[in-house]
Structure 1
Amino acid sequence: MSDHKKAIVRKLIEEVQVGGNYAVFDALMHPKFIDHTPTPGFSPDRDSVRAFYRAFHASFSEPVCEIDFQTAEGDLVTTRKVYSVTHSGPFNGIPPTGRRITFDVIDVLKVEGEFITAHWGILNLMKIVAQISW
């Protein structure tokens, strides 16, 4: 069962976060999904997470994600991953630089049945801003 839950999270990473496939987002994310650590400026609901992903894809292209490790216990799947992206659109008021940047993310996603129902995560936005500002 834990392998199935990890596969659901990998599908979100590969097809939505990297691939930008929002039909898959809609299929995986429960309508009452809650983000317990929403990105500043975004609310904790499913629609806001979709808006964040769209804004991210508008600012950064050519995404690559390397999963360092993934563990599952009960309904929770923890993933540590490293993204590489190209800053190709405005982000947080910073015009596109064309720079290739990397950043680390740690996510804990709650998977119930076939749906992702909750998220807790760590994303260092200042690391992103520092790489595109200087």
Structure 2
Amino acid sequence: METNAAIVARFIEQAINQGNIESTNEFCHEDVVELVPFPGQGPGVEGIKDVIRGMRTAFPDMHWMIQEQVAEGEKVVTRFEWTGTHEAEFLGVPATGRPVRVWGVVIDRLEGGKIKETRIIMDALAMMVQLGVVPAPGA
């Protein structure tokens, strides 16, 4: 039987890195809850798919790398880093053509081998600095 950590890793690889957004249904419950939603994110699995679609549109070469995972019971904590080139509007920022490297942590709770709740924390400030939208601290 596949571990919860392996399920989350497969979701990252298939849905996010490979861009097989419809595979999100295989990894998430229909009524999955994003506890820290993106601005304007809709509910459930469709909301998650919209966020992935938006990120892959803005950063078509986006690639997530798992740095470490800790799993206990039904919860999986994944520390990740992703890279990409900003080629289309994202969170109101027009395309800059700039590369970004963003770290984050996601905490998933699985039920029956599928993600039921998720909470993502990303270094959005560093991303905005890399995009040139916000001045670097001390600049």
TM-score (norm 2): 0.87
In the TM superposition, what whole-angstrom CA distance separates every residue of 1:92-112 from its partner, at most 9, and x where no partner exists? 332222211100110011112
Task: Say whether the 8 Å CA contact 1:85–1:101 is kept in structure 2.
Answer: yes
Q: Secondary structure at the match of 1:81?
A: strand
Matches within 5 A, 1:1-134: 4-133=3-132
Specify every segment of 5 or more residues in structure 2 that has no aligned partner in the other structure, as ranges. 134-139
3-state SS, counterpart of residue 57 of structure 1: helix
SS in 1 for 2:103: strand
The structure that is helix-richer by fraction is 1
Where does structure 1 differ by over 4 angstroms across 4 or more consecutive aligned residues?
Answer: none
Q: C-alpha offsets along residues 2-55 of structure 1, whole Å, 9 cap, x if unaligned? A: x61111000111111211112311111101111111112224422111111111
More strand by share: 1
The alignment yields a C-alpha RMSD, in angstroms, of: 1.6
Aligned mates of 1:22, 1:61 — CA distance in 2: 13
Tell me how far apart the structure 1 counterparts of residues 20 and 55 of structure 2 sit (CA, whole Å): 13
Shift of 1:124: 2.4
Structure 2 distance, partners of 1:14, 1:52, is 16
Percent identity, please.
27
Shift of 1:83: 0.4
- In the alignment, structure 1 segments of 5+ residues that lack a partner are none
**CA distance, structure 1, for counterparts of residue 90 and residue 120 of structure 2:** 20
